Amino acid sequence: MKDFGMLHVYTGTGKGKTSAALGLALRAAGHGAKVTMLCFMKGDPTYGEAQAFRFVPNFIIKQMGRESFVNFRNPDPIDVKMAQEAWEEGKRILLQKETDVLILDEINLAMAKSLIDTSEVVSFLHDHRGKTEVVCTGREAPQELIDEADLVTDMQEVKHYFTLKNIPIRDGIDH
């Protein structure tokens, strides 16, 4: 698509990083762009985005993580393997120019927790994103990625009903 090729980073402790990326995806698809979203750590098929985007033309979502949470203090080797496979798929998609927008959901945290190599990711994105708009989401975006990015949004939690009212995750809003 015309004028695509920027690198976005959505990071921070606040809610809304993936939601912002999904909003961008919806907008791009509305203009006829092909969108691919690789989920590095969200393998649960009941996530709302995994279900909803079956109905959005030109949108592909690939959940490449396990359904369970990753223990970042002591990651299971399968989590490392799956994160590395997700990154390999992202590289393949960029090299083959398969999509107009590539969302790498939770890649920031995968890099921050050393599941994948930050320097390799940043170098590859610098050299190969071409005319593909790339969106990286997740907490703890590495500074190298922030420095490389064209747009960085740092979402900070000010108030959250999880902590204020002990309200659990709600389908359709948080999941």
In this predicted structure, what is the pLDDT of residue 111?
Answer: 97
pTM: 0.91
Q: In whole angstroms, give the CA distance from residue 73 to residue 64.
A: 20
In this predicted structure, what is the pLDDT of residue 73?
Answer: 83
In this predicted structure, what is the pLDDT of residue 174?
Answer: 63
Q: In whole angstroms, give the CA distance from residue 103 to residue 6.
A: 12
Q: Which residues of the chain have pLDDT under 50?
A: none
In this predicted structure, what is the pLDDT of residue 170?
Answer: 61
In this predicted structure, what is the pLDDT of residue 54?
Answer: 83
Q: In whole angstroms, give the CA distance from residue 25 to residue 47.
A: 16
In this predicted structure, what is the pLDDT of residue 158?
Answer: 84
In this predicted structure, what is the pLDDT of residue 133?
Answer: 98
